[in-house]
Amino acid sequence: MAKMKAIEAVAKILELEGVTKAFGVPGAAINPFYAALRGLGTIDHVLARHVEGASHMAEGYTRANPGNIGLCIGTSGPAGTDMITGLYSASADSIPILCITGQAPRARMHKEDFQAVDIESIAKPVCKWAVTVMEPAQLPGTFQQAFHIMRSGRPGPVLIDMPFDVQMAEIEFDAEAYQPMTPYKPAATRIQVEKALTMLNEADKPLLVSGGGVINANADAQLTEFAELVNVPVIPTLMGWGTIPDDHELMAGMCGLQTSHRYGNANVLASDFVLGIGNRWANRHTGSVDVYTKGRKFVHVDIEPTQIGRVFGPDLGIVSDAGAALDLFLEVAKEWKAAGKLKDRSAWVAECQERKRTLQRKTHYENTPVKPQRVYEEMNKAFGRDTTYVSTIGLSQIAAAQFLHVYKARNWINCGQAGPLGWTIPAALGVVAAEPGRQVVALSGDYDFQFMIEELAVGAQFKLPYIHVLVNNSYLGLIRQAQRGFDMDFCVQLSFENINAPELGEYGVDHKAVVEGLGCKAIRVFKPEEIAPALEEAKKLMAEFSVPVVVEVILERVTNISMGVEIDAINEFEELAEKGADAPTAISLLD
């Protein structure tokens, strides 16, 4: 058997597990690992500007394509603590990423050594598994177990912490004998599926709710096929957006308090049965349980047993991987259709389609400063069906979910439950790194954009081109809107008169100058008619220079985006569409 440094065995295991890309920041305690990566030569490395940025890049990389697992690397101490937000984000949204940290030598770990911290204990609440490896010979088995844990059941992140002397020790390792472990995926039984399908068939106005678990299982095709087979409309969650194309006749809209369509909420409220697959009944999808569940029955399919009943008790719970469940649902439904047992849903489908046609919000405004709704209208015109949108949180993301269109799984990449500001830039870079040439369009408000703006330099250095639409109202817009309930506008204004950019007036930070200083390209527009030409120019600049291109749109300072505290009580602050010209890029035109 071959004798080698333990860290060389780790690098080889990463290769054997399919890792080809890493995001990180070197440091003294992790330099042995970097030496092993250099020696191996098969794993490309992207140097982040901040370790939190590296963790978000890893998440974007994972979410870009089925089977990906993003790898982020940092040294001891603050590098690990910087990763915690990324681990929390990945854990909350069931995304597998592997975080590797260096650590002080074992003999100095409990002596307050420089940059020595108990990262295992810190990371445990936001990981599927966090471990400091104290024996060199345990490293191969630890990494094998890490990949097994990340891929099994509900996916999620793992952190492995390696003391310096553990990395440097010699061990026996036979790479030819190494074999990745088969992940565990629970699967629905036939009797469970027959019971669920019976409940659906007995209902008059059933819906399917498609969550992020369908995307994790790479089962969007099965979801759409099943919906077509039983002819039942689909309500995707924000994390499941794209599991059925927006323009599909059975796509019935998103439901929720913020990232929702008027017709999506109306269709849920009109239903009498919901089959949820791979979703978690998030609060911003449901609002209060009483309103969401009143008058309807529920079946909940989820890969994680403890998710069943976490928010409310369903009439039937099924523990299953979404793909395995949908395969069986298709099998049984095909048998029932051949036997003439499936109910005719055409009237209910037509009812949902009519709501989709008529319940639209207005987007066509000609105001200057620009109203945000117009930005999304122009984005719909400028970007095609294959566009991948990346966003995190704020009024910009909420409005994007209300007005943009998504046609494929993994073409809406959004940080859901955690929602950390700054996520968008590094996540977008991770998506581009996973698939060079993919058309990626990121979307940020000005505060999200400023949080990790330094990562744009990574896009310039490593030639990771994408378009970033920056909507600037010089406000913490979502928090300002939330403060209306407290009758205040306090500590949320980002506006000031920039002595170096008087042309900005009160809009503060000169994003264009900062972006260009980081090696990227930027365009700023003030009027609605300038948006379309700017987006076209951005495409040309991106193609020519292979760097991120930022299109900044100066918005009106205050716009209240539609939202509410219940799905039956959404406040519509702006005008509603009354004719087709009011919402010319709506998915279903009024006239």
The residue annotated as part of the active site, out of 100, 158, 223, 476, is 476
* Residue 529 DSSP class: G
- Annotation says 515 is catalytic: no
CA 185 – CA 548 distance, rounded (Å): 38
The residue annotated as part of the active site, out of 277, 421, 515, 549, is 421
- Annotation says 171 is catalytic: no
- Annotation says 117 is catalytic: no
Q: Classify residue 115 as left (phi > 0), alpha (psi -120 to 50) or beta.
A: left
Query: For residues 130-155, b (16+ Cβ closer than 10 Å) or e, as one string?
Result: bbbbeebeebbebbbbbbbbbbbbbb
- Annotation says 421 is catalytic: yes
Q: Determine contact, residues 101/123, Cβ cutoff 8 Å.
A: no
Q: Let me know the angle formed at the C-alpha of 531 by 530 and 537, rounded to the nearest 5 degrees.
A: 90
Q: Determine contact, residues 179/204, Cβ cutoff 8 Å.
A: no
The residue annotated as part of the active site, out of 479, 514, 576, 589, is 479
Query: How far is Cα of residue 504 from the mean position of the Cα atoms in its chain?
Result: 32
- Annotation says 479 is catalytic: yes
Within 8 A by CB and 6+ apart from 97, the residues are 55, 58, 59, 62, 69, 70, 71, 72, 86, 87, 90, 150, 157, 158
Dihedral, CA atoms, 187, 63, 95, 133, nearest 10 degrees?
A: 110
How far from 320 is each of 152, 186, 276, 357, 425, CA to CA, in Å?
A: 12, 5, 12, 35, 34
The residue annotated as part of the active site, out of 7, 13, 14, 25, is 25
Query: How far is Cα of residue 221 from the mean position of the Cα atoms in its chain?
Result: 19
How far from 227 is each of 219, 221, 248, CA to CA, in Å?
A: 12, 10, 11
Within 8 A by CB and 6+ apart from 460, the residues are 518, 519, 520, 547, 548
CA 525 – CA 234 distance, rounded (Å): 38
CA 381 – CA 85 distance, rounded (Å): 35
- Cα–Cα nearest to 535, from 548, 518, 546, 549: 549
Q: Which residues are designated catalytic? A: 25, 51, 421, 476, 479
